[in-house]
Amino acid sequence: MSDPVETPRVGLLRSSALVGSMTMISRVLGLLRDIVIAAFVGASANADAFFVAFKIPNFLRRLFAEGAFSQAFVPVLADYKEEGAQEAVKALVDRVAGVLGGTLLLLTLVTVAASPLVAALFAPGFVSQPEKFQLTAEMIRITFPYLLLISMTGFCGAILNSYGRFAVPAFTPVFLNLSLIFAATVAAPWFEEPVFALAWGVFFAGVIQLLFQLPSLYRLELVPRPVFDTRHEGVRRILKLMVPALFGVSVSQINLLLDTVLASFLPTGSVSWLYYSDRLAELPLGVFGIAIATVILPNLSAHRAAAREDQFASTLDWAMRSVLLIGVPAAVALILLAEPILITLFQYGALTPIDVEMAALSLRAYSLGLVAFMLVKVLAPGYYARQDTATPVKIGIIAMAANMVMNLVFVLPLLWYFNVGHLGLALATSAAAWLNAGLLLRGLLRQGVFSWQPGWGAYGFRLLASTVAMSVAVMLLDRGVATWLEWGWQRRGLEILLVCGAGVTAYLLTQVITGTRMRHLRAPGAV
């Protein structure tokens, strides 16, 4: 096993398209999942309890699997790959698996044993509602082991991404959506309290996702055999990078979690309103923002390891243009079509028109920060690829503090005067995301690792013109909220496809008319 495993050279655009298409399948199923859940539990107390129990391990997953861990692990793995010794890579993988898995196993056992304390920590507003609080604590015991399973899945996925195998990790989340759909539609009648079916659906999804990764790792001869060894040089480097990265890379997620904590004190339904709106805002973020961030980190790390500074800068520039090309029209479309989209997808069964109205407010607020969320995803790798964790931590602290202040500034007046405190939470999160993205960009410019490439003026004009054309097309075809509520699901579905299709067509045609060509979309050479 002495020969290094070859990493295929694939263009960043092609890789991003592959990851994006796989993620799109997952996100479409995720929307179907949320439609089913909305019809199943709506915005009830049971729904609030499940969303909190699900959000806790899901949030920590962003830290241990997709966020801080990945940003720390991939650059170190790139160094070991650059040295070319497969035995050294395998030794690193085994020891990282042992340390990560052992730590998360201990955390899982402690959390399951102390689930009431965890529920009180993350949803303190539920303590005054005994039934809701008990239900949340009981479901945490079931859902929290998902953290261990999905974090190991994310670890395996980071290895595959580093070797250019993007499809399997990108497709893996499909199984979570399928599991929850099965739980809500088939398994729920098996339980005395049907909402517990969703909790068990989360657990079994973790098992399936991990098993799905292993055959691909076997073909790379990198199936981990866990060894708990914190003295290994690579493990120590990862831990050194990961500790500050735990905060720096996950600021937006921490802010969203704070929204959940504060929302637990707001009227019943607030947690659910934020969940449904966040899910829709996450669609373009997950399909495009995270897809691009996923493929550029291994490339940036390889450029840094080989001292290719020009390619490092041009890769970051391409990533920024790519997320703006998608993020700006997506954000505008979500603002214009908030109610129609929510009505079409979720306004069935237990979800009421008032719930739609409330969720639309937070959806528009999250949409204002969508571009910032996407920029953070592609700018943060510019630091972590160079193993610089100190700068994002400083920026993260500033953004975090600003979010807390803005929560008070926005939430209290909106709650007291308009009874829409959840809107303030979403607005504060978006504003903090913009601050985070702006400071990350400024830091990269000051450090000289990022520079504006030629063509931004023409690019900006084409983006503005196309977004305006899309907006006009959408507004001309929108029939108004009352009409959407009157239609059945078939008519709603056809109309939303018509409106969105017209908007996409107007956007693409204007891009072509104003001069956009395929060569403008191609990325710098991948490694």
| Alpha carbon distance 278, 369 (integer Å) | 11
Q: Give pLDDT tens digits for 271-322.
A: 778 878 887 887 777 667 777 776 776 777 777 766 677 788 888 888 899 8
Task: Provide the pLDDT for residue 159.
Answer: 87
Model-level pTM? 0.70
| Single-letter amino acid code for the residue at 97 | A
Task: Provide the pLDDT for residue 6.
Answer: 45
Answer whether residue 115 shows pLDDT above 50.
yes
Answer whether residue 11 shows pLDDT above 80.
no
Task: Provide the pLDDT for residue 365.
Answer: 95
Helix/strand/coil (H/E/C) assignment for every residue in 256-323: HHHHHHHHCCCCCCHHHHHHHHHHHHHHHHHHHHHHHHHHHHHHHHHHHHCCCHHHHHHHHHHHHHHH
Task: Provide the pLDDT for residue 253.
Answer: 60
User: Which comes out higher in pLDDT, residue 261 or 32?
Assistant: 32
Polymer length in residues for the chain: 527
Answer whether residue 4 shows pLDDT above 60.
no
Task: Provide the pLDDT for residue 527.
Answer: 47
For residue 111, count other CB atoms closer than 10 A to its CB. 19
Answer whether residue 9 shows pLDDT above 50.
no
Taking residues 445-467, report their average pLDDT.
91
Q: Give pLDDT tens digits for 132-182.
A: 888 888 888 998 999 899 889 988 988 888 787 877 887 888 898 899 888
Answer whether residue 3 shows pLDDT above 70.
no
Q: What average pLDDT does the chain have?
A: 82
Return the DSSP state at 479.
-
Q: Give pLDDT tens digits for 359-387.
A: 999 999 999 999 998 898 889 888 878 87
Answer whether residue 242 shows pLDDT above 80.
no
Task: Provide the pLDDT for residue 412.
Answer: 83
| Alpha carbon distance 150, 146 (integer Å) | 6
Nearest to 209 by CA among 171, 258, 241, 237: 171
Task: Provide the pLDDT for residue 20.
Answer: 63
Task: Provide the pLDDT for residue 68.
Answer: 67
Task: Provide the pLDDT for residue 333.
Answer: 95
Both tokens of residue 147?
């953290």
Answer whether residue 487 shows pLDDT above 90.
no
Least confident of 79-93, 233-247, 293-307: 293-307
Q: Give pLDDT tens digits for 88-101.
A: 888 888 998 998 88
What CA dihedral angle connects 147, 266, 247 and 110, to 10 degrees? Answer: -40
Q: What radius of gyration, in Å, describes the C-alpha atoms of the chain?
A: 23
Domain boundaries, the chain: 12-453, 455-518
Residues with Cβ within 8 Å of residue 68, at least 6 apart in sequence: 242, 245, 246, 247, 248, 249, 250
